[in-house]
Structure 1
Amino acid sequence: MAAKSVERLLNVIMTIGSRRRIDRAKLFAVIPDYAEAVSDQAAERMFERDKAAIIELGLPLVTERDVLDENTVHYRIDTARSGAVLDLTTEEYTVLLAASRAWDTAAAGGAARRVRAKLLSLGHDADPDLLRRTPRGAVESLPVLTPLLEAVVAGRSVHFMYRSTHGAPSRRRVEPWVVGVLDGHWYIHGWDLDRAAPRVFRASRIESFPSDAAAATRPRPERTDLADVLGTMLDSDDREVATVRAAPYKALSLRDRAGASLEAEGFRLPRLPRPVARRLLLADVRWVELQEPALWREEIGEVLTSIADRHEGEPELSGLDGAAVRPSPRIRITPQSGDHLSRLISVASYVMSRGEVALSELTEALDVSEKQLVTDLQVLFVCGDMGAGWEDLIEAEWEHGTVRVRNAEPLRRALSLSAVESTALLAGLATLEPAAGQAEDVVDSARAKLLAAVAGTAEPGDQSTADGAEVPTRAEIAEATTADEMAARTADRAEQVLGAVHAALRAAPGSEEASLTIRYSSSDRPGTSVRRIRPLRLETDGARSYLLAHCELAGAERRFRLDRVVELLPAGTPMSRPEVAHGEALAGRVDGEVWLRLGPAGHWIAESFAAAELRDAEGEEAATYARLDSPVLAPLVDAVLESAGAAEALSPREVRDTIVTVARGGAERHTR
């Protein structure tokens, strides 16, 4: 929406909010766009759109008819409901602010963009130490999410272009039941109108902006667990309890499932469907050997032999040369007046609550550029109460790097969160959980207050709404707000490590308490290393949590996956690296580009490694070619093996040879 419309909305808010109430005729006379409209009907339509935008923004706009003259309509902003939307402690506000950083606001939809601005309008001060220790999350930031979330809330269907793993995009019509996060990725589960069956869609494969359609007619299931739905995609009647041998401190995800210690060389997995067990074992086949059941063991050997045979010869490249480059989907992110207006109000509220704010602090808080912030301040400068003189316009100053805002009291208000924005924020909260550590209770209490506010209750302890409906529990919203069960188990196992990391981050720089000695199990080589590190910050990527730290052994900054910090050691423990024989390590990144040929079951690799280019083969069923630029070698090899033949590395030759070596070694262990 044009800046002119944003100015008009801001003037309407300032004019109504500056007085106890104002009648409709006076408002239409003093707002220039209404007064200059081509007709009374045009002014009416414009005002109705503006009212809807103001209410959606979260301001309690009230319409009242005069008790003496029902033809006279008055408007006011309900000051009784314009105080704090959420009664938060400093720590709870901090974790909600940290949760809002899970989104790339430049790429996300309107709901995600508005969340941070609305939080800042609350007028709280964050705990800088806690904010520094909470990781920046990595939830997929997709512009398609807002209309999907709105469809769930409104009970409507949507249609969009979707590219499945089997080829060209097609138009899909869906009544969404759940839009949720799992392992850092967004999924939509709902009723596919064309196929007359429930379906799951990955949001990153939607290639057009979802359009609102008719009201949903299919009853929504009372309970839909997204993790369970995705789990059934690999379900099978062939279920067994598998016995596994594994190298100590390796195959950590398998150990989590088995409840096995990190040092145990043998353990039993819980009863799993054969496809699930096969995928898990192949992903960690460098470190494990399946012993029982015998038929599964034989299948693992056959799959690995087939992968090795396929990579041993020369690759077939004729399909790659003739494949058409897939154009990147261009989903336009249209700035909305609500996005801009919520940021303008938050700028004014944030600055007025503090008197003055450094320009750099404000740009960081709002996650905007200095140029954009100055543009916002220029808009504020020309707006104000249109029913008074020029002296009642907003005063905004930003000279010398310090921002001041005066004469804008109607904007000093907390903006309430919509159901869609709350869902986005709950998803951001979920990214903090794997690395919450000692802040886990704060995350839980912030979530409870957010849920209470969404349900309209006064206190989070009151578990019912005004109409008697129960407030969703944490378990009941798991399908839309939490990472998968594996992440929770990893977090439990890493609690001691997280506590030590948080203590080190709080410690004075240079002190003994600011450093840790750890045993680390790397994914690219056998054994473990002992390292002395100085933690710098936590980071989150989907369901995985990482620690950026200065490593004395490497003499540089390194990124450590938290669940691979397997032991905390006394400060004086000597540092060491494992002795690795030639060919045992898969260290570092591939030098240059890697081309993969992917079948339908292997398309997830292109998404996981953020393929730089995709090509679709002609005349070859469901074949896609993906180019990866300098991928990390170890996880790439593991992904090719995990795909069980659905992926082939075409180049370079060195990657093919590595896959042959690893696959042959795994096959030998399972066929002897």
Structure 2
Amino acid sequence: MPPSSGSVSGRSTAASAERLLNLLIALLDRESGYTRDQLREIVPGYHKAGSHDAFERMFERDKAHLRSLGYPVEEIPDDDPWATDVQLAPRYRVSRGSYQLPQVQFSAEESAVLAVAADAWNDAAQDRLARRALDKLEPALSHEAAPGRDVQPTVAVADPAFEPLLSAVLSHRTVRFDYVDRTGAFSRRTVQPWGVGSRFGAWYLAGWDEDRQAQRTFRLTRIISEVAITRDGFEPPEDFSMGGQLARMVLPPTRVRVTIYVRQGAAQLLRQIATPLTEEDPHLPEGFDAVLLAVSDTEGAAEHVCAAGPDARVATAAGADLEIQRAVARAVERRLTEAKKFQDRVGGCEVVWGKQRRNGAAKASTEQHLARLLHIVRHVYSHQGAQLEETARHFGITDQELIADLQTLFVCGRPGHMPDQLIDASWDDGHIYLGNARELSEPVRLTVPEASALLMGLQTLQALPGGNSDVVRSTMRKVATAADALPLADALAAPDQPAELVPEDTELMSQLRQAITNNRRVKIRYVVASRDEVTERLVDPVRIVSSDGHQYVRGWCLNANGPRTFRADCILSCEDMGQAQAHPRMDSETRTSLYPEKRRPVQAVLVTDRRGRWIVEHYHAKRVATVDLPPAEEPPVPVTGGPGGLAGPGGPGGSKGPKPLPEYVAAEVDFPTAEALSSLVTRHAGHVAVASPPEVVRTVEQWINNSLFMGTTQL
């Protein structure tokens, strides 16, 4: 029976990790280092390179792996006095002491907030970095019990521009990208990226706009091209703080107040952000309620009304300012018309799914395996004789996987690989002992990407109600010290702010937080947005989760007899119902998941344009493909600004411009209900539509047509 692709991939990853570990030991072995040819001879695994060029590529990849784990591979000149210039070749080494963790120690409270920050990332790549950083900091963490936190931030990144921008921020490299502002105008920007961070549920880039010669802030969801990282370097201002930049951002004032008619018993999310109107309205249709919606601008009001679909319409014959009322109604009609036009172009289009790429999967697996081997050495050296089962649980792996890792360590060692040069590993009696690997047991400093992943989790924690504390701030400085990059903490932490800038809990959230602290059961009235209904639930709340600018209550729902997550702004009321019970399934959760048991019965294929591409990431598409659509009736909007102006969004520009993204992308996505999917289409009018299956397409089309009918009956 042929081996499965998974088992072959696992053996390949293990072999690569074994080769890398032997290379690291060789580079640590002597200060004078080894040449490439010498390393090819003495490191097991390099003999599999069939040619000189294949070895060169393998060696370059291996050096990058070791450097990304915090071991600075140095290239030094050959010190052989008898060699000729032709014979001289550079030598490679990892200098002793160059990778050691600086002297740093975390208190019990600091260790607790550090664990919360490391658990924050929903992005796989950043999650790996944060957890690897926490593993490296294990010797510096306090083992004293600290008060548990009832708040868990989560950092979710749905913007493909995030990774390259973060890389450019850390490497101080100028970037170029195509951008669309709030008015819909396109331009190409050349920016010195100073920092990235999240605020109000969105991610932002702050930096120096070279075309405008001014500091600017860009919302990542409005970047409509790939981010091109140039070779141009820069030095950010010493006094710049991304945390401070985010803290100074405030929600725009509510300048627009508009009366909306909502169908009785429906549009629950719209009702949550509006105020009921009790005065008589002679124009109020039968079966509707009148609410007052206060937002920052006309487009914001129109977006909320469009999301409610046929269950809401703008009152154009009543309200405080009829001109504003009618302006919002016109915006609603325009957005719904754009949604219909795009849906008509997309409905039934053919999607050809190609081979799905897993970018960086092999690199991540190899690095992750090597990082685990090194962590096992460090952990066992400080806990000699640890029980095998207990150690396996500590690393979150099975006993068999731990034994396989120990067997890998057992065959690794210094060049020559004689018995006295190999790592001494034994576990026969169920207790693990390691020896002859002192150089690998030393704590390793954090890399800048690892420290950044932890710091951004701490930054998110700092922005929560009650999170802007001295403990979080001191933890950030120690994390940056562990990477020998103290300016990172200054750049990400918010400076001391007046108390009024720190977000405060609402009365309802304070009541829920108190219920968690005092272990109380509560009865809540809750809006189920996907079904647009209000339900009553008995809940034993466990923690509060913050994600994408929203707060969620995680707990055991007695109605469902299982763990559930409730969005805080959908909770209408909260009543104490006595002492809560212990639920082992809740206690066994190691990670906070917002939707671990959520059923997603509606499977659909979405098509988005470049402005809606973040939706593909946000809803965790199963597969993605580029599609072609019939041409639109209107010509493309011209792109302005920046050198080498473009003919259209992402069109041809200068040779150094960013690579344009595909104009349209199809994605297979799951949704809780067809109504939730229909609301997404009308909310993001003209940027997302549904291609299949036919029954869901018909539901969406009917939703759009009914919404248009509701909006035009009063225009």
Instruction: Name the TM-score class by shorter chain.
Output: 0.5 to 0.7
Q: Which residue of 2 aligns with 1:275?
A: 299
Deviation (angstroms), 1:375 = 4.4
Deviation (angstroms), 1:568 = 3.1
Residue 548 of structure 2, aligned match among 538, 542, 550: 542
Equivalent residues in 2 for 1:185-584, closer than 5 Å: 200=218, 202=220, 213-216=230-233, 240-243=255-258, 251=270, 254=273, 269=294, 272-280=296-304, 282-283=306-307, 291-304=319-332, 316=344, 320-322=348-350, 328=356, 330-335=358-363, 340-357=369-386, 362=391, 365-366=394-395, 373-384=402-413, 390-391=419-420, 393-398=422-427, 403-432=432-461, 442-451=471-480, 471-472=490-491, 474-475=493-494, 489=503, 495-497=509-511, 499-500=513-514, 502-503=516-517, 513=519, 515-524=521-530, 528-535=534-541, 539=545, 541-571=547-577
Deviation (angstroms), 1:601 = 5.1
Q: Which residue of 1 aligns with 2:116?
A: 98
Q: State the alpha-carbon separation in 1 of the partners of residues 550 and 711 from structure 2.
A: 27
2:434 match: secondary structure: strand
Deviation (angstroms), 1:88 = 0.9
Q: State the alpha-carbon separation in 2 of the partners of residues 147 and 602 from structure 1.
A: 19
Residue 669 of structure 2, aligned match among 628, 634, 641: 628
Q: Which residue of 2 aligns with 1:642?
A: 683
In 2 relative to 1, CA 75–475 (structure 1 residues): closer, same or farther, beyond 3 Å? closer
- Unpaired runs of 5+ residues, structure 1, are 16-21, 166-170, 257-264, 458-464, 479-484, 505-512, 574-587
Q: State the alpha-carbon separation in 2 of the partners of residues 96 and 255 from structure 1.
A: 38
In 2 relative to 1, CA 456–641 (structure 1 residues): closer, same or farther, beyond 3 Å? closer
Q: Which residue of 1 aligns with 2:105?
A: 87
Q: Which residue of 1 aligns with 2:628?
A: 617
Q: Is the 8 A contact 1:63 1:74 kept in 2?
A: yes
Q: State the alpha-carbon separation in 2 of the partners of residues 541 and 221 from structure 1.
A: 30
Q: Which residue of 2 aligns with 1:8?
A: 22
Q: Is the 8 A contact 1:97 1:116 kept in 2?
A: yes
The Cα offsets for residues 456-513 of structure 1, whole Å up to 9 and x where unpaired, read as: 66xxxxxxx7xxx9944733699xxxxxx99x85856664145235426xxxxxxxx3
Q: Is the 8 A contact 1:617 1:625 kept in 2?
A: no
Deviation (angstroms), 1:266 = 6.7
TM-score by length of 2: 0.62
In 2 relative to 1, CA 122–411 (structure 1 residues): closer, same or farther, beyond 3 Å? farther
1:242 match: secondary structure: strand
Q: State the alpha-carbon separation in 1 of the partners of residues 385 and 477 from structure 2.
A: 33
Q: State the alpha-carbon separation in 1 of the partners of residues 508 and 533 from structure 2.
A: 19
Q: Is the 8 A contact 1:10 1:341 kept in 2?
A: no
92-101 or 649-658, which deviates more: 649-658
The Cα offsets for residues 30-89 of structure 1, whole Å up to 9 and x where unpaired, read as: x97387599xxx99x999999998776446999999xxx9xxx9996349x946653212
Q: State the alpha-carbon separation in 1 of the partners of residues 362 and 192 from structure 2.
A: 24
The Cα offsets for residues 101-124 of structure 1, whole Å up to 9 and x where unpaired, read as: 334685559745642432335465
- What root-mean-square deviation, in Å, do the aligned CA atoms of Structure 1 and Structure 2 show? 6.1
Equivalent residues in 2 for 1:9-48, closer than 5 Å: 9-12=23-26, 15=29, 24=32, 33=39, 36=42
Residue identity (%): 24
TM-score by length of 1: 0.66
Letter in 1 for 2:257: A
Q: State the alpha-carbon separation in 1 of the partners of residues 441 and 302 from structure 2.
A: 58
Q: Is the 8 A contact 2:343 2:701 kept in 1?
A: no
1:300 match: secondary structure: helix
Q: State the alpha-carbon separation in 2 of the partners of residues 196 and 323 from structure 1.
A: 44
In 2 relative to 1, CA 225–54 (structure 1 residues): closer, same or farther, beyond 3 Å? closer
In 2 relative to 1, CA 215–64 (structure 1 residues): closer, same or farther, beyond 3 Å? closer
Q: Which residue of 1 aligns with 2:96?
A: 77
In 2 relative to 1, CA 325–415 (structure 1 residues): closer, same or farther, beyond 3 Å? same
Letter in 2 for 1:629: D
95-104 or 645-654, which deviates more: 645-654
Q: State the alpha-carbon separation in 2 of the partners of residues 311 and 64 from structure 1.
A: 62
Deviation (angstroms), 1:214 = 1.6
Letter in 2 for 1:335: K
In 2 relative to 1, CA 327–568 (structure 1 residues): closer, same or farther, beyond 3 Å? same
